[in-house]
Amino acid sequence: MNGLDILALSASALVGLGIYGLLAARHLLRRVLAFNLVGSGLFLWFGAAGARGGVGVDPIPQALIITGIVVALAASALGVALVVAHARLSGPTLPEEAPCDPEPDNRA
């Protein structure tokens, strides 16, 4: 098992964990974290893709990963801010299912 395999395996593990979290976690904060896990896994994989061929390292993925991390950070911050704002309005209980309940009665 060479270094690339280790990277690929860890990337897959991260993505898998993240997807599990997205599907299984009800708590919104956990979902935001799960999103970050998947993102990290993808970035790791992307970085590994830059080392293909063995001669030198392709710098483009690294540049893109940095951009991607910034984007993910912004998305997470927005997510957390929404969770907090929602929690403030809904009282001390943390928002479990609330945002995903079907649209309030709006049928004729």
Partner 1 sequence: MTPLIWLVIAPLLGALAVLVVPARRMPAVALGAAAATLGAALALAAQVAGLGPRTVLLGGWTPPLGIVLKADGLGTAFAVMAALVMSGVALAARHELAPDKAGARAAYGFWPLMLLVWAALNTVFVSRDLFNLYVGLELLSLAAVALVALAGSREALAAAMRYLLFALTGSLLYLAGVVLTYSAHGTLDMAMLLARVPATGDGVALGLMTAGLMAKTALFPFHVWLPPAHAAAPAPASAMLSALVPKASLVILLRVWFEAMPDAAGDAALLVMAGLGAVAVIWGGVQALVQRKIKLVIAYSTVAQLGYFIIAFPLTGGDSAVKPWSAGAWTGMVFLALSHGLAKSAMFLVAGIWYSACGAQELRDLKGLARALPMSAFAFALAAVTLAGLPPSGGFTGKYLMMQAAFVAGLWPFALVMVAGGLLAAAYLYRPLAALFAKDEAISCAPVSRVRQAVPLALAAAAIILGVLSAEPFSFIKIGKPDAAVEGL
Would you tell me which residues interact with partner 1 (CB under 8 A)? Answer: 15, 22, 28, 31, 35, 38-39, 42, 45-46, 49, 52, 58, 60-61, 64, 67-68, 71, 74-75, 78-79, 82-83, 85-86, 89-90, 95, 98-101, 103-104, 106-108
Tell me the closest approach of the beta carbon of residue 108 to partner 1, in angstroms: 5
Tell me the closest approach of the beta carbon of residue 1 to partner 1, in angstroms: 19
Pair 82, 108: CB distance under 8 Å: no
Pair 44, 12: CB distance under 8 Å: no
DSSP secondary structure of 1-34: --HHHHHHHHHHHHHHHHHHHHHH--SHHHHHHH
